[in-house]
């Protein structure tokens, strides 16, 4: 009986420890916009996926020859402003597989601003 109680007790400890490991944050990247930019600048795509997971939207930009020139990744509700309110979209722009620019937006990233100039390439 004592052995059964001891085995049962140890099994509960194993479950408790397993639960605490999965409860840890999966990322050491801060959510505050300024700290986020300072930390993430220059990260490679693999490191971003490891820390943040797959983006909700991804767009690759290729040259005329088909070579990958840049990538634009978007995450939603990832970063906060100085007041602690979340931006709807955080955009990470990559060149040569590294983050070169971070953009915070209060829209879903699909909208075209009303004051944007629409130009068709080759036409004036």
**Domain boundaries in the chain?**
28-105
Task: Specify whether domain 28-105 bears CATH 3.30.1450.10.
Answer: yes
The pLDDT of residue 9 is above 60? no
Q: What is the mean pLDDT of residues 77-104?
A: 95
Supply the mean pLDDT for the chain: 77
- Model pLDDT, residue 118: 56
91: region left, alpha or beta (phi > 0 left; psi from -120 to 50 alpha): beta
Q: Hey, which residues does 86 pair with through a beta bridge?
A: 80
Half-sphere exposure of residue 87: CA atoms within 13 angstroms, side-chain side: 21
**86 pLDDT exceeds 60?**
yes
Report, as an integer, the average pLDDT of 37-55: 93
Spatial separation of the C-alpha atoms in residues 51 and 78, rounded to whole Å: 12
């Amino acid at each position: 009986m004592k052995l059964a109680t001891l085995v049962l007790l140890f099994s509960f400890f194993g479950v408790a420890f397993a639960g605490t490991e999965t409860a840890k944050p999966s990322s050491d990247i801060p959510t505050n916009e300024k700290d986020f930019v300072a930390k993430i600048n220059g990260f490679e795509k693999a490191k971003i996926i490891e820390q943040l997971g797959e983006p909700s939207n991804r767009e690759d930009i290729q040259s005329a020859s088909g070579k990958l020139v840049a990538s634009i990744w978007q995450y939603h509700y990832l970063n906060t402003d100085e007041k602690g309110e979340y931006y709807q979209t955080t955009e990470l722009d990559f060149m040569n597989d590294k983050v070169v620019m971070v953009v915070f937006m209060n829209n879903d990233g699909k909208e075209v601003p009303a004051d944007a100039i629409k130009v068709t390439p080759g036409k004036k």
